[in-house]
Structure 1
Amino acid sequence: MSWLCFTLVLAILLSQSINRMTKPDVTIVGAGIIGLATAANLVQRGYHVTIVDREGPAAGASQGNAGAIAWTDVAPLASPGLWKQAIKWLMDPLGPLTVRPAYAVKILPWMLRFMAASNHSQMKRSTEALAALNAEAWPSWERLWRVSGTHNQVRKDGCLELFDTVSSLKDAHLGWEEQRAFGIDVQELDLAAIRDMEPGLSDRVVGGALVPEWAQVDDPKLLCLSLADWLKSQGVVFDVGEVAGVQSKPSGVLVTLADGRTVHPDRLVIACGAWSKKLAAQLGDKIPLDTERGYNITIPEPGVTVNRFIMLPGHGFVLSPLSTGLRVGGAVEFGGLDLPENWKRVDAMVAKARRFFPDLKTEGGKRWMGFRPSIPDSLPVIGAAPQADGVYYAFGHAHHGLTEAAVTGEMITDMIDGATPSVDPNPFRADRF
């Protein structure tokens, strides 16, 4: 009997070894949170993974976001109601939404697509797709946190949405009802309850709501670096290099690096955020991706206590308490990848934040600007490249890259594995435009 057991165990181990040997090699372009989460799912299924990035893990938007797992968000940015507010914001060069004059002509085609995606029928489709994707975001992250040992870097304190005008508070009710329709808990609060939660707030708040299931990581960069360390322990190779070109050939995919090296992976995943558009175009896919430049400041000693993530929708920014300090950030600036930063936008956000927390200090604060890769219909591109066998896209997540990283990684891994993803990938295909 013991020999039989030994033979069975040996057969299982041999089968697993052969399975790993027959799995194709996968190269991922991009060591941000999407690339890291995709690698984490692939390596669990026995794939040999290499991640190529010009700077290494968490060098871009993944290090400077607000740290939210905002799976409770279901509303696309492209919506009919946004235009009334957007026109008002655009009148202020330092407001929540602005277009740099030097970039106005370049962004026009994207804006026209955004307007087209803002009609009621498209908004309904985008909302349903986002709700389906984000419904799997949290359980996907729970699986990844457990296996990677990073579960202690996340907390669920909820998100407090605050308003300082009666009209903006009234407008918010429609969005809250939509969230509730998808089973998301939204608790409207009176001023006394808000004051109990955040005693440091000024008197200008007129109302708000708590979304209790909203979650937050201690620090997005720390999470990325921890995942990278775990991936290295699992045999994932990190290659620092800039991908200059990709080609689809009869023999497979050819990846050319800026230093002259070439790579011939069995499978390729393009997950390099705002820089993905150029690579997809080389494969014949014209993706309408542009960048929302986001600004923030992280203050190690802010002089005020913020107990949980606070969103100020009427002003387009958030206050996010991280392990590294209070991060004040948000806003949207369309200016592409090359124009210099406009740090006055950080100063404007700080000035507005002081209206809500008058004692806020900024000494020792570190300013940052990053590029959110955004698609006009507010849906990322997740799936196989239509014109290149063996290539997969995972980019364009805009404000929800951290939120949707784990579920995106699972979907891409399922596709490479030949399995059916848990989320219908059709709304996110690259040839939908």
Structure 2
Amino acid sequence: MAVGEVHIIGAGVVGLATAAACVERGFKVTIVDREGVAAGASQGNAGAIAWTDVAPLASPGVWKKAASWLLDPLGPLAVRPAYAFQVVPWMVRFLAASSPDRVASSTKAIAALNAQAMPAWERLWRASGTHNQVRRDGCLEVFDRQADLEQARNGWAKQREHGIRVEKLTVSELRDLEPGFSGAVIGGALVPDWVQLDDPKTLCTSIANWLAARDVKFEAASVAQIREESGTVVLTSDDGRTYQSDKAVIACGAWSKHLAAQLGDSVPLDTERGYNITLPEPGVEIRRFIMLPGHGFVLSHLSGGLRIGGAVEFGGLKLPPNWKRVDAMVTKAKRILPELNTGTGQRWMGFRPSMPDSLPVIGLSSAASNVAYAFGHAHHGLTQSAATGELVAQLLSGQSPELDLHPFRATRF
């Protein structure tokens, strides 16, 4: 018997995982999304369960690196001129989050949440029968510049402090693992416990089908308003439809900010626009997930081809894509993999919902205890989704969550 009704706003991977955890606890669940299952960042990501990545973007030395990146409009970090003024408040908070104390606190919180990521995903994969869509071949971090390699060693040390295995590799060892690497590669490392999906869109669709078979309803609507009324949550769509529920979850990624604000929580959420291209016939065999940290993008071999993607662009939700950013990544990828065939491919741009301290917002609304937040995961949305879903379901069930959610509260800024 259902213990109550929950409406989840957002049919991305976080919303789907939250629905799964709520169903397990006996809730009657409806998912409301303006475009459908995995229509946004959940379909266009690189397909990595990056639980071994514990470092926030903000760091004491990040501004020195960011300054050089910003000089290159097609580099790893860019701010569109038309959006420069709007992003200033986010950047100010990002600077504040770059202090050594704040970075240490953020790292601790990310590591704690990521430590729950794989166990939570294992439970969801088993329950939904999607365990066969997972590969466990590890991740290679690859460098073509000595300065970037030296800096990465500090990050590897931090990962090892949290019990994460990182194996430094020579050039010859890297080529043994990936023979297609060019002479530009000077070193790197293997992160053996990294996990990758065959395709993130396929996984989301499979989970959605499994949820539908368990009587989860899917509604196509853009939620424009949310309010609490006499113990009931009322959702109103932009076309005037109304939904009432005992509880609700805001999990609509980059579109979550205005809904949280209606409940009195002003969160500094912005969007890191990510770009990629998927090459159906790349001409090279990639055996593992490959990160190019010095250039801010990755190479991910999915079931539908090789996906080259990443980088960060601040440009909000409305500006048109700058496809030259894709071309720049492809050019750099060919420096590492000279035999890469880039003749055909599908380009994509999506919105990562990002908080200045790299921590998502997970917890109850400060004004409505029957509304939970599950957004702002930035680069870790896929990674942290299953764990987030379980934590939110625990909150909605009146249980004490298994993780201290104080660092993830909406009111921390």
What is the TM-score normalised by the length of structure 1? 0.94
Post-superposition Cα deviations, 1:21-72, rounded to whole Å, max 9, x if no partner, equal 4x11000000000000000111111110000001110000000000000000
Could you give the per-residue CA deviations for residues 320-374 of structure 1, whole angstroms, max 9, x where no partner exists? 0000100000000000000001000000100010100111112230000000000
CA contact (8 A) 1:248 1:389 kept: no
CA shift for structure 1 position 252: 2.1
Alignment of 1:243 with 2:223, yes or no, is: yes
Name the structure 1 match of 2:331.
351
Moved more, 395-404 or 247-256: 247-256
How far apart in 2 are the matches of 1:319 and 1:423? 32
Instruction: Extract structure 1 runs of 4+ deviating beyond 3 A.
Output: none
- 5 Å-filtered alignment, 1:158-307, equals 158-307=138-287
Q: Which ranges of structure 2 fall in alignment gaps of 5 or more residues? A: none
Residue in 1 that maps onto 2:128? 148
Amino acid at match of 2:5: D
Bigger Rg, structure 1 or 2: 1
Deviation readout 1:173-206 (Å, 9 max, x if unpaired): 1100000000000000011110100100100111
Bigger proportion of residues as helix: 1
Give the one of 111, 136, 145 matched to 2:116.
Answer: 136
How far apart in 2 are the matches of 1:418 and 1:409?
14
Q: Does 1:73 align with 2:73?
A: no
Structure 2 partner of 1:9: none
Question: Are the aligned partners of 2:184 and 2:335 in contact in 1 as well (CA < 8 Å)?
Answer: yes
Give distance in 2, aligned partners of 1:175 and 1:302.
31
Residues 102-155 of structure 1: CA deviation (Å, up to 9, x unaligned)? 000000000000000000000000000000000000000000000000000011
Write the mapping of 1:89-100 to structure 2, written as runs, cut at 5 A.
Answer: 89-100=69-80
Aligned match of 2:90: 110
Sequence identity of aligned pairs in percent?
A: 65
Unaligned runs of 5+ in 1: 1-19
Cα contact 1:252–1:389 (8 A) shared by 2:
no
Q: Distance in 2 between matches of 1:173 and 1:351?
A: 26
Q: Counterpart of 2:66?
A: 86
CA deviation after TM superposition for structure 1 residue 248, in Å: 2.2
Report the TM-score, using the length of structure 2 for normalisation.
0.99
Structure 1 range deviating more: 353-362 or 112-121: 353-362
What's the CA shift for 1:251? 4.1
Q: Give how far 1:392 is off.
A: 0.3
Task: State the secondary structure of the residue aligned to 1:66.
Answer: coil
Q: Aligned to 2:330, what secondary structure does the other structure show?
A: helix
1:315 equivalent among 295, 299, 302: 295
In the alignment, the residues of structure 1 paired with residue 388 and residue 228 of structure 2 have an alpha-carbon distance, to the nearest angstrom, of: 23
How far does the alpha carbon of each residue in 1:222-256 deviate from its partner, in whole angstroms, 9 at most, with x for none?
A: 00000000000010000011101111223422110
SS of the residue corresponding to residue 218 of structure 2 reads strand
Report if the CA contact (8 A) 1:277-1:289 is conserved.
yes
- One-letter amino acid of the counterpart of residue 163, structure 2: G
User: What is the root-mean-square deviation of aligned Cα atoms in Å?
Assistant: 0.8
Q: How many pairs align?
A: 413
Q: Would the aligned equivalents of 2:231 and 2:246 in 1 still touch at CA under 8 Å?
A: no
CA distance in 1, matches of 2:287, 2:60: 33
Distance 1:373 1:61 in 2: 9
Q: Partner of 1:405: helix, strand, or coil? A: helix
Is contact 2:50–2:383 with CA below 8 Å preserved after alignment? yes
